[in-house]
Structure 1
């Protein structure tokens, strides 16, 4: 997508003024996602233009204040009515609220900002967020964020599997990855998050992340503390427990009973290398392997013929085609492979 500096400045000015259409917002965020350089230009431009607009708005409001506070004379006595006092107070309140109001521009009538969603339509789909962080999405996954991302929040909504490289040089707010009733919070580093249906799995390659069950806890930013849901109205807060923190080389997985198990990452290839389109698997039975192949290529997989249901398979393949992968794994056991747009059929001899 080709957008020059003038186009970007115009779009950002309209965004700050709350005049950007959904189509234009989509165009802007698609352009940001293309490269880290685009994300940097966006952050710098929105910072400069946002600051200019704040100064202009404050100047305009202050001029109105001066106009409203000018005393008028009736005969020899100065009059300053209650109505004028109320108007002056209201305008002064506006001055205080301007920075907050600027953060809410662009919202619809329900108070929701434009939501940008990226879907994983390939083995791996990679793109950049407005804060310069890089995201890798697996096939069939999707991630969403609103147009306030990197300004008023760094929240992501994930459905599926993503690997995130957090840019910690631009913002003091942590990144929050929400998936269902749980979330992962990290200020820096690299992590893989798998959140689909009731599944929630977080593996940290570098840095540290905190996992939170948002049914029972409320995340308070930037305090970075938690308050039990039953005590949200109180002023007390509890810090993160060590059991909820996941460090580099560790993995945390929620069970069906909502219990969390923290372990070491035994296979970096299986957990992290998928983002580089490396197909890794270890000790899988044929039906398990069929499911993994189906997930990787986005097609249903059917095995026909004589098979050994007890044999385990392991391997690592760099961005393989379906036929090359299957022929290599099963070697001379394969009689034929039929691949269509939606299905892979493997016939064993």
Structure 2
């Protein structure tokens, strides 16, 4: 006896398991697309949406694979279950109609218990897969064209400078507080004596319990650490064994394949990008221009090198580039002209 097209318990079973598992993951629209793709019912437009979503983040591909595995597990579990014998059951039912017998209830308890057990195992597997995905999923915070402020899951605050990136995984705050930094950031770390906050930047590692500090870690440049408050341990390839302990007001740098060393930081503008303030007190013009270049992400060309030794004094709060250039031009008695976008020439 062939099975009616309406009788599709296997497909129904897999759909139930899929729905239970996906409901744990809470991604309704994407789950629908994945289910339609697995069943071969997805349209070209929907496939385009799904493909774009898969390519957007490696974690999305892992999510897709976990649901697809759940579907396959359900198919395997169903194949282990005895298939109901419709003809035999109908024959028994007919015989009971013509030859009454003592009332007895016939159940397929073992089959349904096996089905329930399989469902529990599959859903548990899906839950474990999701947990592993979440713990390994990386969150990336970026500040490409401007400064941004973020609050991490543990309550710590991070101020990212432009062209900077911070990353951490899904277990952050549970059993670790490790982040990876590329670029420059100011950290205001929430205190947690049992769980140190660790910043991996370039070849360096900075470990703290609760403090504020700035790390600058751009490609092909030494990593620089400035401690604002509290105390931190700054280490290189030797790890904690070669750690340099720094307190508020101290600075250290780390060059590739070397150990950290403490230096004197005489730059009052090392936090200008965060505080929105530029301060100069009788400093050579080359230092003034260097701070302005870093703050506005521009470049200066100086026609006469002797100009670089001119001393300059001034303070700018919430500075605007046009204002800064105008004031310097007048007080230093120099001409400043725009050569091209973000490039300025200084001459007499």
The equivalent residue for 2:253 is: 253
Distance 1:216 1:261, change over 3 A: closer
Instruction: Indicate if the aligned counterparts of 2:234 and 2:260 stay in contact, CA closer than 8 A.
Output: no
Greater Cα shift, 153-162 or 14-23? 14-23
Moved beyond 6 Å, runs of 4+: 99-102
Tell me the matched-pair count: 238
Asked whether 1:114 is paired with 2:134, we answer no
Instruction: Indicate if the aligned counterparts of 2:206 and 2:233 stay in contact, CA closer than 8 A.
Output: yes
Q: Say which of 157, 169, 177 aligns to 2:180.
A: 157
Distance across 1 between alignment mates of 2:336 and 2:266? 35
Distance across 1 between alignment mates of 2:326 and 2:320? 10
Distance 1:292 1:256, change over 3 A: farther
Distance 1:147 1:256, change over 3 A: closer
Q: Report the structure, 1 or 2, having the larger strand content.
A: 1
Q: Report the structure, 1 or 2, having the larger helix content.
A: 2
Instruction: Indicate if the aligned counterparts of 2:203 and 2:257 stay in contact, CA closer than 8 A.
Output: no
Where 2:230 maps in the other structure, the secondary structure is: strand
What displacement does 1:154 show?
1.5
Q: Say which of 150, 160, 166 aligns to 2:189.
A: 166
Instruction: Indicate if the aligned counterparts of 2:303 and 2:347 stay in contact, CA closer than 8 A.
Output: yes
Asked whether 1:181 is paired with 2:206, we answer no
What displacement does 1:334 show?
3.4
Distance across 2 between alignment mates of 1:16 and 1:177? 35
Instruction: Indicate if the aligned counterparts of 2:156 and 2:187 stay in contact, CA closer than 8 A.
Output: yes
Distance across 1 between alignment mates of 2:278 and 2:155? 27
The equivalent residue for 2:335 is: 335
Asked whether 1:129 is paired with 2:132, we answer no
Distance 1:263 1:17, change over 3 A: farther
The equivalent residue for 1:147 is: 170
Distance across 2 between alignment mates of 1:193 and 1:100? 36
Cα RMSD (Å): 4.0
Per-residue CA distance 1:97-122 (angstroms, 9 max, x = gap):
9x998863426xxxx42332322422
What displacement does 1:254 show?
2.6
Instruction: Indicate if the aligned counterparts of 1:304 and 1:345 stay in contact, CA closer than 8 A.
Output: no
Structure 1 unaligned regions, length at least 5: 1-13, 27-90, 218-225, 227-239
Distance across 2 between alignment mates of 1:15 and 1:254? 47
Q: Which has the larger radius of gyration?
A: 2
Greater RCO between the two (CA within 8 Å, min separation 6)?
A: 1
What displacement does 1:186 show?
0.7
Structure 2 unaligned regions, length at least 5: 1-20, 31-51, 57-119
The equivalent residue for 1:56 is: none
What displacement does 1:185 show?
0.8
Distance across 1 between alignment mates of 2:285 and 2:266? 22
Where 1:160 maps in the other structure, the secondary structure is: strand
Distance across 1 between alignment mates of 2:315 and 2:273? 10
The equivalent residue for 2:231 is: 208
